[in-house]
Amino acid sequence: MIEVQELVKAFGRFRAVDGVSLDVAPGEIHGFLGPNGAGKTTTIRMIAGLLAPTSGTVRIDGHDLAREPEAAKASLGFIPDRPFLYEKLTAGEFLRFHAGLYGADGDGLPARVAELLDLFELRRFEGELVESFSHGMKQRLVMCAAFLHRPRAVLVDEPMVGLDPRGARLIKDVFRAMSAKGVAILMSTHTLEVAEEMCDRISIILGGRIIARGTVDELRSMAGSEDEDLTPVFLKLTGGGGLQEIDEVV
Amino acid sequence: MNHAFTYLLEPVFQALRNRARRREPGDGLRAAVFGALALFVGLTLFAVVFWLTWQLLDYEELGDYLVRLGLSWLFLTFLSFLAFSSLVTSLSTFFLSEDMRLLLAAPVPVERLFYSRFAKTAAQSSWMVVTFLLPVLMAVGLARCAPLAFYFTAVLTVVPFVIIPVAFGALVTLVLVNVFPARRARDVLMLMGLLFAVGLVLLLRFLQPERLLKVESLPDVAAFFATLQAPVTPLLPSFWAGESLFSALRGAVDGLHAGALWTTALCALVVTRICYARYFFAGWSKAQEARKARFTRLAGLDWLLARLPLRAPARSLVVKDLKVFLRDTTQWSQLLLLLALALVYVYNFRVLDLDRIPYMSGTIKNVYAFVNLAMAAFVLSAVAVRFVFPAVSAEGAAFWIVRSSPISMSTFLWSKFWTGLWPVLLLAEGLTIASNHLLGVTPVLRVLTAAAIVGMSFALVGLAAGLGARYPRFAAENVTQVAGSFGGIAFMVLAVLFIVVMVGLLAWPASIFLWHQLRGDPISPARGAIASACLLAALVLCAATFWLPMRRGIRALEELG
């Protein structure tokens, strides 16, 4: 559903993303992990069609993003880490506008808006200006918008930032339900527990390259630490040494 | 997306509607002040243009010629303004606007995106010109008893006239964003500011307005009109617009120039659309990379500020403010414009050669010294509302750092005051001294106005910093929004009142002194006492305008919830 091949993004001589290839199948939740500055957000923005790649291809639902950008984007639901919202619109107005962008503003729109607002517990704020929303509410509103047009693939950058435990649980349940219905989800996150709990497969990026890919168990095998949780595995794979110096510094 | 491009403009209208429904404190005052000001300017423009056009009716062919030339000049001025304005606006609407990330992630065809942004750019960059043209063209039409067709022609002329420079601006922006090193997209703004400033100076030099005052130096009347005719070229849309309207004024139809306007406008629109379809995404993508722009480390500034006799917290604030300012090229570009305008202002005094005009006697020159003082103070107020008033609000979401640090709000606000004062003081003092010198003002007035502008700088910067702290807008997206807020408007109203009262308090005793000096009479003790009281009142007014808002501002910051 989401196919990325040999994606490269160079800023001058620096290659922020250096030949990344990914494949997210329908119904799969694919984790995209990496330390800060590894190239996660740059990759995600190229897949979302927000940044032109230096080379490589992105295909969504069979559509080449460079050649058929509208068809590719119509199949995708994108949830950025720092979303833009029209602060002077109400939640309802924003959702209806968003639906129009995706051509999803037919007769069923009011019901669809209502069910998503209900799902994300924002129904009573439908007539409120977005500027009055908390960070978590804005995050939930962006998710409503991203799911309005029933995307076949979802691209999400840091989904849990700013959400309370109840909100985080809700998002996990929604993602699982979508995955069960065949939606491909590519999720970038720093929350390793979430990745471990939710993802079918995980790709780890470091220095712009994918250094490891597989299920959580396969990653444990690669790191040579069979019974550990994902954090030490991640640190071993990404070279998180130096932590032993903390005592000295503190 | 199946909708027409206008769908993409809906959030703008919905936001405006919501904004109108939910009024904020100060909205009423702001609307009243702006409304009254707009009405006053509109009516004045209408009256002046009506009177001028009416007077020209007496001169038959010469009058016609001057109306025709006036229209071409008017449109030429607007053409240059629109071209620059659309350059800056295009960069913002097409490439830097926050909502583009949302729209580009959606399946919106690039053509519709282009048309919606083009319409937004055209509206944002031309509303001022159109608002200005409305009373002017109505006045010309009414004074000439023009047929109804004139007003239709006016609408049909202004639309393509706006489209052409906006298309030009959008195209140049597209080229700049694609050609320039991508990491420096915002720096393009600075370049544009510089280009406009240089263009403005060149245009003024090209017009050589001072030549019109030296009629005797021109060989004949034809040469005089040739001077007027100089910048009007038949190849520019401004000429076509002027000709088209002039014909309509006389009840005729000028199909040639109207056709030239419309075909050029449509052609420009199509060419721009094709170029945007091809190169927009590449340019937009590069503009995003500019977020990782290189920056100057400003080591010299660190060295210099380390030697200032300031305590560490105050120094940290000053260093931070200066670095943020110097690295923000959007601020710089505006400053460049302002400096260019200041240079033109001073330059005018040099070229006007006032001594050779018989009625420009010493007295009028001295009166002009106070007009000059008021002008310098208005410039000062404009700089203060743009750079000093938003200083507290500019902390934005990062204000928690200052509030949670062991820095008193007094130290914080005084640091803002001093950082703002020095550049403003230097600019105002420089303007006053240079223009008075070029005017040849009496030495006494030179000293008086030079001293007065120091006091006025303290007062206006104090007022701006104090009101900025009293009415902060931490959530504002940019400083322009802060300057246009309730507090900003209140500052401008108070600043204008302050300047008027100050000029009155200084001009009256100065005129008494000069009058007696001219006649060789001694000043009577009563008059001397009143004059001294005026000067003292001016001093007290400065001190109060500086001190009270600062005190209120500090208290307001301390009481922030």
CA distance A231 to chain B (A): 30
> Is pLDDT larger for residue A102 or for residue B296?
A102
**pLDDT digits over B438-479, tens only?**
877 888 888 989 999 999 999 999 999 999 999 998 877 677
For residue A82, what is the nearest residue in chain B, using CA coordinates? B101
Same domain, A70 and A183: yes
Q: Kindly list the distances between the CA atom of residue B460 and the CA atoms of A44, B421, B479, in Å, as whole numbers in the listed order.
A: 49, 9, 18
Kindly tell me the sign of the dihedral angle through the C-alpha atoms of A98, A103, A109, A115.
negative
pLDDT of A43 reads 92
CA distance A191 to chain B (A): 25
Residue B92 CA to residue B121 CA, distance in Å, equals 9
CB-CB contact of B481 with B547 (8 Å): no
Residues of chain B with pLDDT > 70, as a percent, come to 81
Q: Do B14 and A93 touch (CB under 8 A)?
A: yes
CA distance B290 to chain A (A): 10
Q: Do A89 and B11 touch (CB under 8 A)?
A: yes
The residue written with tokens 């690039």 in the block is: B110
Q: Of B387, B274, B382, B262, which Cα lies nearest the Cα of B326?
A: B387
CA distance B170 to chain A (A): 21
The residues, any chain, with a CB within 8 Å of residue B482's CB and separated by 6 or more, are B389, B390, B393, B394, B468, B473, B476, B488
Q: Do A70 and B107 touch (CB under 8 A)?
A: yes
Residue B138 CA to residue B47 CA, distance in Å, equals 10
Amino acid at A38: A
Which residues of chain A make contact with B1, given a CB cutoff of 8 A? 70, 100-103
Residue A30 counted as domain residue: yes
CA distance A113 to chain B (A): 17
Q: Do B183 and A11 touch (CB under 8 A)?
A: yes
Measured in degrees and rounded to the nearest 5, phi and psi for residue B471 equal -125, 65
Residue A250 CA to residue B397 CA, distance in Å, equals 30
Q: Which of A71-80, A99-108, B23-32, B79-88 has the lowest mean pLDDT?
A: B23-32
CA distance B495 to chain A (A): 31
For residue B103, what is the nearest residue in chain A, using CA coordinates? A101
How many Cβ pairs closer than 8 A exist between chain A and B? 84
Domain count, chain A: 2
Amino acid at B466: G
**pLDDT digits over B298-344, tens only?**
667 777 777 777 776 777 778 778 777 777 766 666 676 677 667 76
Residue A16 counted as domain residue: yes
Query: Which band of pLDDT confidence, cut at 50, 70 and 90, is reported for residue B346?
Result: confident
Residue A245 counted as domain residue: no
Of A71, A72, A84, the CB nearest to B99: A84
Q: Which of A70, A128, A134, A141 to mutate to test the interface with B (most CBs of B within 10 A)?
A: A70
CA distance B489 to chain A (A): 22
**pLDDT digits over B89-143, tens only?**
888 888 878 788 888 888 888 888 899 999 999 998 888 888 888 888 899 888 8
Q: Do A78 and B105 touch (CB under 8 A)?
A: yes
Which residues of A lie inside 8 Å of B (Cβ-Cβ)?
Answer: 11-12, 45, 48-52, 69-74, 76, 78, 80, 83-84, 86, 88-90, 93-94, 97-98, 100-103, 129, 131
Which residues of B lie inside 8 Å of A (Cβ-Cβ)?
Answer: 1-3, 7-8, 10-11, 14-16, 18-19, 22, 98-99, 101-110, 182-183, 281-282, 285-286, 288-289, 292, 475
Burial B489-528 (b: 16+ CB within 10 A, else e): bbbbebbeebbeebbebbbebbbbbbeeeeeeeebeeeee
Which residues of chain B make contact with A103, given a CB cutoff of 8 A? 1-2, 107
Q: Which of A8, A50, A133 to mutate to test the interface with B (most CBs of B within 10 A)?
A: A50
Same domain, A2 and A66: yes
Query: Which band of pLDDT confidence, cut at 50, 70 and 90, is reported for residue B224?
Result: low
Region A110-116 average pLDDT: 89
Q: Which of A8, A11, A65, A88 to mutate to test the interface with B (most CBs of B within 10 A)?
A: A88
Query: Which band of pLDDT confidence, cut at 50, 70 and 90, is reported for residue B217?
Result: low
Examine the pLDDT at B63 and tell me if it is beyond 70.
yes
Q: Which of A97, A126, A128, A144 to mutate to test the interface with B (most CBs of B within 10 A)?
A: A97
Q: Do B107 and A101 touch (CB under 8 A)?
A: yes
CB-CB contact of B373 with B452 (8 Å): yes
Q: Of B250, B407, B246, B379, which Cα lies nearest the Cα of B315?
A: B407
Q: Do B101 and A74 touch (CB under 8 A)?
A: no
Residue A170 neighbours by CB distance under 10 Å: 17
Same domain, A191 and A132: no
Taking the model in full, what pTM does it have? Answer: 0.69
CA distance A219 to chain B (A): 32
Residue A195 counted as domain residue: yes
Query: Which band of pLDDT confidence, cut at 50, 70 and 90, is reported for residue B189?
Result: low
Q: Which of A13, A79, A86, A133 to mutate to test the interface with B (most CBs of B within 10 A)?
A: A86
Q: Of A149, A138, A142, which Cα lies nearest the Cα of A178?
A: A149
Residue A35 counted as domain residue: yes
Q: Do A78 and B19 touch (CB under 8 A)?
A: no
Which residues of chain B make contact with A88, given a CB cutoff of 8 A? 14-16, 18-19
Residue A238 counted as domain residue: no
For residue A100, what is the nearest residue in chain B, using CA coordinates? B1
**pLDDT digits over A223-240, tens only?**
777 666 777 777 777 776
Q: Which of B14, B16, B102 to mutate to test the interface with A (most CBs of A within 10 A)?
A: B102
For residue A142, what is the nearest residue in chain B, using CA coordinates? B102
Of A11, A71, A90, the CB nearest to B289: A11
Which residues of chain A make contact with B15, given a CB cutoff of 8 A? 86, 88-89
CB-CB contact of B113 with A49 (8 Å): no
Query: Which band of pLDDT confidence, cut at 50, 70 and 90, is reported for residue B292?
Result: very low
| Token reading at A33 | 């992990």
Query: Which band of pLDDT confidence, cut at 50, 70 and 90, is reported for residue B293?
Result: very low
| Token reading at A42 | 């740059």
- Report DSSP state, residue A201: E
Same domain, A6 and A121: no
CATH number for position A51: 3.40.50.300
Which residues of chain A make contact with B104, given a CB cutoff of 8 A? 49-50
Same domain, A6 and A60: yes
CA distance A98 to chain B (A): 8
Region A104-133 average pLDDT: 85
Same domain, A1 and A65: yes
Residues of chain B with pLDDT > 90, as a percent, come to 17
Region B257-281 average pLDDT: 92
Of B16, B101, B288, the CB nearest to A80: B101
Of B11, B19, B107, the CB nearest to A97: B11
CA distance B283 to chain A (A): 9
pLDDT of B105 reads 86
Q: Do B106 and A98 touch (CB under 8 A)?
A: yes
Which residues of chain B make contact with A71, given a CB cutoff of 8 A? 107
Q: Which of A47, A73, A152 to mutate to test the interface with B (most CBs of B within 10 A)?
A: A73
| Token reading at A92 | 């309802």
Same domain, A66 and A174: yes
Of A74, A84, A129, the CB nearest to B18: A129
Q: Kindly list the distances between the CA atom of residue A199 and the CA atoms of A193, A195, A215, A246, B534, in Å, as whole numbers in the listed order.
A: 10, 5, 8, 31, 80
> Is pLDDT larger for residue B337 or for residue B144?
B144
**pLDDT digits over B495-532, tens only?**
989 999 999 999 888 888 877 777 777 878 888 888 88
pLDDT of B182 reads 47
Which residues of chain A make contact with B475, given a CB cutoff of 8 A? 131
Residue-number span of the structural domain to which A138 is assigned: 82-150
Residue A227 counted as domain residue: no
Which residues of chain B make contact with A94, given a CB cutoff of 8 A? 11
Same domain, A44 and A138: no
Examine the pLDDT at B368 and tell me if it is beyond 80.
no
For residue B102, what is the nearest residue in chain A, using CA coordinates? A84
Residue A173 counted as domain residue: yes
SS (H, E, C) B180-205: CCHHHCCHHHHHHHHHHHHHHHHHHH
